[in-house]
Structures are given as C-alpha cells and as structure tokens.
Amino acid sequence: MTPANIPLLRTTGRMAEAAIEKPSYQGPAFLSYGFRPFFLCAALFAGVAVPAWILLLTGAGDSAFLYAPRDWHVHEMLFGFLPAVITGFLLTAIPNWTERPPLRGMPLLLLLTLWLAGRLVIAVPWPTPLVSAVVDGAFLVVLAAIVWREIAIGKAWDRSPIGVLISLYAGANMLFHVLALKGAETDLPERMALALIMMLLTLIGGRVTPSFTGDYMVQQGMTEQPPPFSRFDGASIVLVAIAAVAWAVQPQAMATGWILAAAGLANLVRLSRWRGWLIWREPLVLILHLGYGWLALSLMALGGAILGLGMQTANAVHALTTGAVGVMTLAVMTRASLGHTGRPLHAGLMTVFIYILVNLGAILRVFGPAIGLPTNVMLGVAAVAWSGAYLLFAVIYGPLLSRPSIDE
C-alpha cells in the first residue's frame, strides 16, 4: 500500500492552512464554509446531550424520546454529534481535493437545517416514528450524495473510498432505525458505525499528526522529522481495517480480540515513530498525538476485553468514543478553526484548558470504574468535564466561526 492508495493522505494534512474565503462570496461569514456552522453546532450539541443522558441514567429526569434513553444516547453520539463534525471537516476538505467551490450560503443552511431537524424529531418525535426516522436518516444520505457529486464532477476518483465510508455510515444509521422501530437490538449498526470511526481516525489522524508535527519541527529549526509513509504504516492501517470488520461481524470471537490487540499495538508503535515527545511545547500539535494514542489504546482495550484481559467492553468502547473521538475531534476543530480564520496556529491558555477537560472526562469515564469511584459521581464528573470541553469550545471559538477571516 502506498500513500497514493489512501484517501485523505494528500492535502488533508494541510487543510487548516488553506486559504478558503473567496472574495466572490457575499453572504454571512457563518455560512461561508462548512466547518463554521457544523463545528459550532456539534460542540453545542455535545455540551447538552451528554449531561442530559447522565440525568436520565441517574434517574434525575424523564424523557419522551423516539427511542429508549440508552438508544437515544448511543444514536445521537454516533449518528448525530459525530456526523456534524465529519460534515464540517469534509465540506472544508473537499474543495481542496476537487478544486471546486465549497458548499456555502443557502445550500449549506439547508443541510444544517436537515441535521437540526434530525436532532429535533429524535428528541421530540411529534411526527410518526417512521417519519422521524426518515428525517434523521436523510442527513447522511444527502451528505453521501454531496461527496459523490463532488468526487464525480471534480474527477477526484482517488477519494472514492471516502464516499464509500460515508455511504456505509448512512446505511448503518438506516439499519439502526429499522431495528429500533422493530424493537430489536441495535448492536450491529452501532458496531458498524464504531468500525467506520476507527477507520476514519486511522486515516485522518495518521495523516494530519505526522504532517503537522513535521511542519512544527521545521518552524522550530529541528533537524528531526517524522519518517515518511512506509509499508509499516500501510500494514498498520490494513490491520485496523481487518480488526474493524471482524469486530463488527464477530465481536466475541477470540480471533477478533487478537486482531484488535495487534492493530492497537501496531498503531502505538506507529505513533511512537512520529516523535511526539519533541513537540510538547505546542499543545495544538501535541493533542493530535494524544488523540491517536487514545485510538491505539482503545483498539488494545477492545481486544483485551474480548480475550478476558483488562477492562470491560463498555469501558473499552468509551476509550474509543470519549477518548479517541473526543480528543481527536477537538484537536481538528480547534486547529481548523484557527487556520481557516487567519489566526496563528498556536493553542492559547483556554484552548489548552479545553484539551485538559476532554482528556480528564475520557480518563474518568474509561478508568473510573476500575478504581472504585462511585458510579454516579464518576459519570457526573466525567460528563461535566467532557461536555464542558465542547461548551468551552463554543464559547471561545464561536465568535471566530461567526466572523469573517481576519486575513481576507
């Protein structure tokens, strides 16, 4: 496998530094690029939805959601919050891949409205359950159509795997609704979504982390550089792909456990080759290493749980969701928001605090049960820290996302 075979390994790494504001656009800055509304709305939603779930879990509240509280929580994190972040990222990266104009203005507003409608009908299902499911499911279908349209018109066929991943993501969401409406278990579509997330984090994180690390080393006059993409990197990615598929279809098989553990170990070695200890002075870069570290840890933890070693499966899954997803999404959101609005690529004090909060929330959620913390206390503090990181992002970065770029 070569770098050219892997989508997101060209241009994505430098997405945050691309000049994106086009003089021909005359509309509001907030709708000038996909990262602006979707990053902000995703952060606000994460800041509200997780505390709401904890209140329901501890019996301090009640709900009238389309699905049971547990299913609502899982669905809205996997198919509500995360797709918003992915959409903001893709709508910002695709113009760099295709050299075509971005989705902006009214079309972007309509897409955002569709995402918001999905959150509303799942939380307050005033239409029939089937209509609510269709409204929510339409968002990822439309996003997949947009991705494929841009790939086709821009003849960026090397990005086709991204279209495939988003299409599978849309299919997983529809399968979730079909099973949930029948009252059946939704474990399969949940694992499908998590498997796709593993791949996206491996591809995106595996590109941006060494790329931005190398850029920072050059700026600081360091002679060290992360090694170029090698067969070992390719093998690490293939291992994650095999592990993700195996876990989706055979989550209890011993072979799946060993493959997951091997994939985690390989990617931990891969991370060490990027020399993250040399860039500790810049949190904006260091946080990418921490996010990828969470990914490697989650793979090993999932494998260990299947093999009967280490933590329980639920905690291992949260190493992937609260850890790898939470840390990596905020790493990308903060960097892209700074770079695309003309700000210096440096993490200030409040951004560092965002990183501390999201990692603290993940650590408490993943390791809290093992150290004997009271469940309600552990869940409450973890939720406040993790969601607080996203709310703080909205407060600090919301004004940047709503105003024109300062380098226009």
pLDDT of residue 408: 61
Is residue 10 very low, low, confident or very high in pLDDT (cuts 50, 70, 90)? very low
Q: Mean per-residue pLDDT for 54-81?
A: 86
Residue in this structure with the two tokens 């960026």, named with its chain if needed? 156
Q: Mean per-residue pLDDT for 121-128?
A: 88
Collapse the DSSP code of 61 into the 3-class scheme (helix H, G, I; strand E, B; otherwise coil) and give the result.
coil
In the predicted structure, residue 12 carries a pLDDT above the cut 50 = no
Could you read off the pLDDT of 214-237 as tens digits, one per residue?
A: 999 999 999 999 999 999 999 999
Is residue 68 very low, low, confident or very high in pLDDT (cuts 50, 70, 90)? confident
In the predicted structure, residue 117 carries a pLDDT above the cut 50 = yes
Q: Mean per-residue pLDDT for 16-28?
A: 56
Q: Mean per-residue pLDDT for 140-146?
A: 97
Q: Is the pTM of this model over 0.85?
A: yes
In the predicted structure, residue 23 carries a pLDDT above the cut 50 = no
Alpha helices in 220-341 (DSSP H): 231-249, 254-272, 283-307, 313-318, 326-340
Q: Mean per-residue pLDDT for 156-163?
A: 88
Which runs of E-coded beta strand occur in 39-180? none
Structure tokens at 197: 């997330």
Domain assignments of the chain as residue spans, ordered by start: 29-185, 196-408
pLDDT of residue 153: 93
Could you read off the pLDDT of 315-333 as tens digits, one per residue?
A: 999 999 999 999 999 999 9
pLDDT of residue 13: 40
Residue in this structure with the two tokens 């009238």, named with its chain if needed? 64
In the predicted structure, residue 109 carries a pLDDT above the cut 80 = yes
pLDDT of residue 236: 97
The chain-wide mean pLDDT, for the chain, equals: 90
Burial class (CB in 10 A: 0-12, 13-18, 19+), 26: exposed
Q: Mean per-residue pLDDT for 180-192?
A: 94
Q: What percent of the chain has pLDDT over 70?
A: 93
- Select from 200, 192, 194, 140 the least CA-distant residue to 167: 140
Could you read off the pLDDT of 202-216 as tens digits, one per residue?
A: 998 999 999 999 999
Q: What percent of the chain has pLDDT over 90?
A: 76
pLDDT of residue 368: 87
For 398-402, the CB contacts below 8 A with 24+ separation are 398/40, 400/337, 400/338, 400/341, 400/343, 401/30, 401/35, 401/36, 401/37, 401/39, 401/40, 401/337, 401/341, 402/29, 402/30, 402/36, 402/40
- Select from 71, 113, 82 the least CA-distant residue to 200: 82
pLDDT of residue 61: 65
Could you read off the pLDDT of 280-325 as tens digits, one per residue?
A: 999 999 999 999 999 999 999 999 999 999 889 999 999 999 999 9
- Select from 216, 112, 207, 132 the least CA-distant residue to 176: 132
Cα(288)–Cα(38) distance, integer angstroms: 20
pLDDT of residue 144: 97
pLDDT of residue 230: 94
pLDDT of residue 3: 40
- Select from 257, 212, 259, 209 the least CA-distant residue to 233: 209
Choose the weakest-confidence range: 34-43, 53-62, 382-391.
53-62
- Select from 89, 296, 91 the least CA-distant residue to 204: 89
Could you read off the pLDDT of 360-399 as tens digits, one per residue?
A: 999 999 998 878 778 788 888 999 999 999 999 999 999 9
Q: Mean per-residue pLDDT for 147-159?
A: 92
User: DSSP string of 127-157?
Assistant: S-HHHHHHHHHHHHHHHHHHHHHHHHHTT-G
In the predicted structure, residue 15 carries a pLDDT above the cut 60 = no
pLDDT of residue 99: 86
Determine the angle formed by the axes of helices 35-57 and 106-123, rounding to 10 degrees: 10
Structure tokens at 8: 């997101």
